[in-house]
Structure 1
């Protein structure tokens, strides 16, 4: 089972840069997109519903902002939009597909870089999301959370970590739970697929695709053992 997560920084922009042509050749079973920046009514072109996939979008109320999408070859039992937290629900930041024993979600974690108030909301959402994940675990469900976390987990995940220790995205309280950056390889690794412990042995291979630039982020590709047939 191949899962791709990608912050497309505008799904229409990524489409113009060839993302969907690449996706058609990627052999993905599940695709999670973040920062789609479009209302679903603006995506009438068939390219935004790739052939062979069940396609779901969750838009922000504010046009041209945030938003997530999820494409899956196997039809989910249930789709969940939002988590009950205002940021997630009004900004289209969380989209979850439930299968018999597995949940796969596309998450676009808020950034706190615009100011202290936004940073506090980000931290509040993180506390709320931890409770959401504990709820999944109580149901004995495994999960793959595909996200732009807007957090660098460790020092290795960004080039200039020392000078960023007081900046949103690399604060100690976040890590406990960005021009020319690509060309110089001085970017921040914010995109991850986080899995529950029971899936650890299912991971077969991983790749960050950098041969083409579809946005200021790069697709993260992970191959798992077949998790959807059980």
Structure 2
């Protein structure tokens, strides 16, 4: 089973670029998207030419902001876009599909903002998201993917010293929240587990200053897997050659 995740930075813009070809080339069983920046009907319209997939989408109340979606070849047991906390659920940040063998949670975790003005909210989100996942984990193993908006360690961004506790995505508050989630839920960071000494592979680059061309990036996108099913994982890759967004796709192959 192949799963792909990509923060598309606006699905309508992505479709005007090469998104449909990327979908075809991956031929994934499940394709998760974040930051659709569109309402549900607009996502459906943007993806109307994509064949062989069922689309499940969750949009923010605020137009042109946030939003997540899942394209899947097989019909899931269920779909939900709610975490159960109203202030979070208004932003369309979760698409949860339950399959026979596992829960798949596609997430776009809040950015702490310029000047870290949203850092307190981010800390609340991380706690609530972990509690939400705890509930799911009592019934089936978890696969959690998406844009987590945190570089977990200094090896996950090009310039750790200049960004630590100054830039959203690499504060101790965010790192601690991510650590807590991994430990509480016995989750494995699939890419890092399989590539322990690969430190120059990133999933996000600022659109300013030619960052992508110089590979001054951040690893913000992950596939996190319940330890109980880790032995079923075959590969986890970062596809940084694929353009079309300020993020690149990531993939996971797992056999049940």
**Structure 1: runs of 5+ lacking an equivalent:** none
Residue 174 of structure 1 deviates from its aligned partner by 1.3
RMSD of the alignment, in Å? 1.6
Query: Which residue of the partner structure matches residue 208 of structure 1?
Result: 238
**Structure 2: runs of 5+ lacking an equivalent:** 180-205
Change in CA separation of 1:46 and 1:170 when aligned onto 2, cut-off 3 Å: closer
1:183 aligns with 2:213: yes
Q: Tell me if structure 1 keeps the 8 A contact 2:11–2:46.
A: no
Q: Report the TM-score when normalising by structure 2.
A: 0.83
Q: Tell me if structure 1 keeps the 8 A contact 2:104–2:144.
A: yes
Give the 3-state SS of the residue equivalent to 1:222 in structure 2: strand
Count, aligned residues: 225
Q: Tell me if structure 2 keeps the 8 A contact 1:32–1:105.
A: no
Query: Which residue of the partner structure matches residue 172 of structure 1?
Result: 172
Q: Report the TM-score when normalising by structure 1.
A: 0.92
Query: Which residue of the partner structure matches residue 145 of structure 2?
Result: 146
Residue 25 of structure 1 deviates from its aligned partner by 2.2
Counterparts of 1:123 and 1:115, CA distance in 2: 15
Q: Which protein, 1 or 2, shows the higher relative CO under an 8 Å CA cutoff with sep ≥ 6?
A: 1
Counterparts of 1:88 and 1:5, CA distance in 2: 21
Query: Which residue of the partner structure matches residue 162 of structure 2?
Result: 163
Query: Which residue of the partner structure matches residue 13 of structure 1?
Result: 13
Counterparts of 1:137 and 1:19, CA distance in 2: 32
Query: Could you list the runs of 4 or more consecutive aligned residues of structure 1 that deviate by over 6 angstroms after TM superposition?
Result: none
1:69 aligns with 2:99: no
Q: Tell me if structure 1 keeps the 8 A contact 2:116–2:168.
A: no
| Deviations, residues 115-148 of structure 1 (Å, cap 9, x unaligned) | 5552111110100111111112222x11111110
Change in CA separation of 1:46 and 1:86 when aligned onto 2, cut-off 3 Å: closer
| Deviations, residues 5-53 of structure 1 (Å, cap 9, x unaligned) | 1000001111111111221121200111000001122245463462111
